[in-house]
Structure 1
Amino acid sequence: MISMLAELRAKSQITIPKELVDKLGLSEGDKMEIYERDGIICIVPVAVYPKKYLDELREEINDTKAKIASGEQPVFDNVDALFAKLEGN
């Protein structure tokens, strides 16, 4: 765990120590979720996706679930079985 002192600056800005930025692989422009829990400020890196992409992904997942339920989509017990099917064995 890395623990360092930070100072609240003008416009409520805080600099995240470089060691944490490097350790977490953060870059300028990355999005963070900030929330308070029991008096502790939590900052969590997040990925933000366009709504259209999430809607398309949700539709693809629902289509695949329907295919699995109907028996149209094969289900594999393990990765080896998947590769065997892909290799035609």
Structure 2
Amino acid sequence: MLAELRQKAQVTIPREIIVKLGLSEGDKLDIFEKDGSICIMPVVVYPKKYLSELKEEIGDVKAKIASGEQPVFDSVDALFDKLEAE
């Protein structure tokens, strides 16, 4: 597919790609150069507060795993077996 560089360095992404990737107006895109190619990658941006809370929660779970308080499963089937037994 060809696209044309327009005024103010704007490029229209073909509709087929927009639909295939499930993109919509307002989505964030990371644009970078790699080996002479222009790459465009959809990204999700989270607020710093959310990331801090998530990091703390992950730390809590890791501590519980290390202490044996949090069960660890080798497979999803093992997790479901445990849940069904309760």
Aligned partners of 2:16, 2:84: CA distance in 1, in Å?
A: 46
Look up the match of 2:69. Answer: 72
Shift of 1:86: 2.0
TM-score (norm 2): 0.91
Alignment of 1:40-51 (within 5 A): 40-51=37-48
RMSD: 1.2
Runs of 4+ in 1 over 3 A off after TM superposition: none
SS at match of 2:32: strand
Task: Identify unmatched segments of 5+ residues in structure 1.
Answer: none
Are 1:10 and 2:3 an aligned pair?
A: no
Percent sequence identity is 74
- How many residue pairs match? The answer is 86
Shift of 1:21: 0.6
Task: Identify unmatched segments of 5+ residues in structure 2.
Answer: none
